């Protein structure tokens, strides 16, 4: 799965689970989503990609690029 595929899937999840319109910006995710939205998105991502985030992974995620990198790494490990 390419980074573009991951971003497309994340955009779809944000739209369907959070009713977020438009693309996900590559800025600080925490500034774009409240705590409930972040939790909802994490659960949706784990379910969709069949991955599980560790606390260490979550601490490394600051923006969309970090999230894509972690998901790609998790998929490579599977």
Percent of the chain's residues with pLDDT above 90: 51
Mean pLDDT rounded to a whole number for the chain: 88
Cα–Cα distance measured from residue 46 to residue 39, given in angstroms and rounded to the nearest whole number: 11
Domain hosting 48: range is 3-77
Q: What's the pLDDT at 65?
A: 92
Instruction: Tell me how many domains the chain contains.
Output: 1
By the 10 Å C-beta count (0-12 exposed, 13-18 middle, 19+ buried), 13 is classed as buried
Q: What is the CATH number of the domain that holds 58?
A: 1.10.1200.10
**What does pTM read for this prediction?**
0.85
Q: What's the pLDDT at 30?
A: 66
Q: What are the Cα distances from residue 23, in Å, to 6, 54, 59, 73, 76?
A: 13, 26, 23, 22, 25
Cα–Cα distance measured from residue 64 to residue 35, given in angstroms and rounded to the nearest whole number: 16
Averaged pLDDT for residues 41-59: 93
Q: What's the pLDDT at 28?
A: 67
């Amino acid at each position: 799965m390419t980074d573009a595929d991951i971003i497309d899937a994340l955009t779809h999840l944000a739209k369907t689970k959070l009713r977020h319109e438009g693309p996900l910006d590559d800025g600080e995710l925490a500034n774009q989503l409240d705590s409930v939205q972040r939790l909802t998105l994490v659960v949706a991502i784990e379910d969709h990609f069949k991955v599980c985030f560790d606390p260490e992974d979550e601490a490394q995620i600051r923006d969309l690029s970090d999230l894509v990198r972690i998901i790609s790494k998790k998929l490579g490990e599977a």
